[in-house]
Every structure is written in structure tokens, then in C-alpha cells.
Structure 1
Amino acid sequence: MNDVRFPIGPFLPATYDAPARAALILDLATLPERLRAAVRDLDDDRLDTPYREGGWTVRQVVHHVADSHMNAYVRVKLALTEDHPTVRPYDEAAWASLPDSRLPVDVSLSLLGALHERWAALWRDLPGEAWARTFHHPASGETVRLDTALAQYAWHGRHHLAHVTALSEREGWTARNVP
């Protein structure tokens, strides 16, 4: 795919059976370490390089993943404890411009590690009927099933990881493969 905005392609919802969900949970559980590996050797100049013209910097991408996945975790918990809750959207671009988006990436990588450990444990222990629970997203107008939310955030992590690794490859920053 040649579109640097979508290096792994767009998210395409599907039907997710138990084996597919298990693979998606593993994907989410391992994202923090894969993202950590992708930025491990990047100095501040490289972390402050946009992954594309007009795009966020690598540092902002890492912080964005933490922001996004924190919001998603809360949305999942709301869907599990309330009947079809309406979730609160947020302005991702505005969040990415806040002062905490200039912190060292290790802050968000540590947060992601703990968050994904809890999130993966929650996903793993969901009973079968829970996967059909939903929340309403007012910005998109969509009703989102939890199995679709799992797939969407697994994709989201891979999507932003690919922003970082593709930039590193284009710039020749690293020859190391990220798991």
C-alpha cells in the first residue's frame, strides 16, 4: 500500500469468531512491547519527526495510541456495565497538541503496558454473550459491538505501529525488525 496515512489499509469490520478474537486479543496484548521496540533507538530528533507531511510526530503518535486506547478501554467497560451507553467523543488532534504530548514516550509506553495488560485480561474472560454488547458513538452515529471494538483497536495499534516502522524504514533509521 502506498498511502502513508494508511500503511496497513483501512479498518474493515467483519464477523469475529472465538479464534479470531483470541488472535486480536494477543495482538492488543503485545502492542506495547512492539511499539516500544519500534521507538527504542530513536533520539529526540527522530521522535519529533512527522511520520508524513502534515502528520503527527512519532512522539505524538505514541501518546495518541495511549490516549485513544484509554478512551476505548473506558468505552468497553461502559458497554459491559450499561445498556447501550452513548460514549463521549474527543478531539484527537487537540489532545495531540496538549503539553503532555511532548513528554518522553516512555511515559505513554509504560501506561500502555499496564492498560493493555488489564484490557487483554478483560477481553480474555468475556463470556460469549458479552461480545454482542454495544455502545453508541455519537460522532459517527454508529452502534459498535464489542467484538468489532476489539478488532478496531487491534487494527488501530497496528496502524500506528506501521506509521512508525514505515517512517524508520523510509529514513533508514533502523534495520531491526519489529515483532
Structure 2
Amino acid sequence: MDLQALQYPIGKWTPKEQHTWEEIQESIAQLKTIPAQYKELTAGLSEEDLLKQYRKGSWTVRQVIHHVADIHVLYFVRFKHALTEINSEGVVSKIDAWANLEEAKNAPIEYSLTLLEGTHLRWTYLLEQMTEEDFQKGYYHPTRKMYLTLMDAVDVGVWHSKHHLAHIKIALGKAIDL
């Protein structure tokens, strides 16, 4: 695999011009399954497996799992900000710095799998309470340098989940199912 395919094994996220209500509901359904997919994929991994990388110089499997949990907490917070504040700006992090903290390099993955599960339960519960009008709200994403509607943000969340599931599969030598 070339570098681009290893960095973006399912392709880069691109915004859609519009989202149907059915697509939003499908994305919510997908988000509900994400924690179980991570848990299943990582069940029984050895310490050696958790140190594997999807490409030279990349994060380890352990770091990827902790990253996903961290960022999905931010996604949930971004939604709450966008729903309650005018001209909201997306909360961002220094993801490489976070991933290089000793905690992210060494904490048991069960901590982040539990965090991911709880975050997705709360996030999808929030999403199910939202109206079509709510999904038109959004926030400015300083890193992407663009305004994201909450419809776009749900799509990003699903993409991000699948993106890193693919990274873990590559690191573990498993097939990527697109």
C-alpha cells in the first residue's frame, strides 16, 4: 500500500451538498454500533498487538483507540455547543500531542473502550432528540477551516470511526471491508 492509502484507507472525508433525513438516521444507527466494533476488533489483543502500527511512524493500535475516544468526546461537546450557542467554534485539540502523552501510550484500552461506549450512548441519544432544523445548526471548525452543519458533523463522526477501524485492521493484518 502506498502512503496515501495507509493514511486514508477509506479515503478522505468530503462534505456532501445535502443530507436526507434517512441518511442522518442511518448515520446515527452506524454510530450506535461503533463501540461494539472497536471492542470486537480489539478483544484479546496482546501487548505486542497494541504496539503495532498501521504504517511506519504512525500511532500504535493503543494510541489510535485512545485517540478515537478522545475525539469522540470532543464531537459530543461540539454538538452541545452548536445546539446552545450562536456562532459556535468547534473545540479542537492537539491530537499528536495528546496521542504522545504517556497516558495515551500506556493506559489500558479498556478505559477508552468504556469511554467510547458511554460517549456514543449519550451522543446518539442527543442525536435522536434533534429535529431536522437542529441538524442545520453547526459550528466553525478551525482545523478544517470550514463551517460544518451538524448533518456534516454526524457524517464526519461516522467517517472518523471507520477511518481508524481501518487503521487498526491494517496494523493487525486484517482485511479492510469498505
Residue 158 of structure 2 corresponds to residue 154 of structure 1: yes
Alignment of 1:138-149 (within 5 A): 138-149=142-153
Residue 87 of structure 1 deviates from its aligned partner by 2.6
The answer to whether the 8 A contact 1:84-1:133 is kept is no
Residue 136 of structure 2 corresponds to residue 132 of structure 1: yes
* Aligned-partner Cα distance in 2 for 1:105–1:77: 26
Residue 21 of structure 2 corresponds to residue 18 of structure 1: yes
CA RMSD of aligned residues (A): 1.8
Residue 107 of structure 1 deviates from its aligned partner by 0.3
Q: Among residues 56, 71, 75, which one is paired with 2:59 in the alignment?
A: 56
The answer to whether the 8 A contact 2:69-2:112 is kept is yes
Residue 124 of structure 1 deviates from its aligned partner by 1.3
1:110 is aligned to 114
- State the AA in 2 paired with 1:128: E
C-alpha offsets along residues 14-64 of structure 1, whole Å, 9 cap, x if unaligned?
121111111111111111110111111210111011121110000000000
Unaligned residue ranges in structure 1 (runs of 5+): none
Q: Against the structure 1 CA distance between its residues 99 and 52, is the aligned structure 2 distance closer, same or farther, given a 3 Å change threshold?
A: same
Unaligned residue ranges in structure 2 (runs of 5+): none
Residue 133 of structure 1 deviates from its aligned partner by 0.2
* Aligned-partner Cα distance in 2 for 1:134–1:113: 24
Q: Percent identity?
A: 34
Alignment of 1:160-175 (within 5 A): 160-169=164-173
TM-score by length of 1: 0.91
The answer to whether the 8 A contact 2:77-2:91 is kept is no
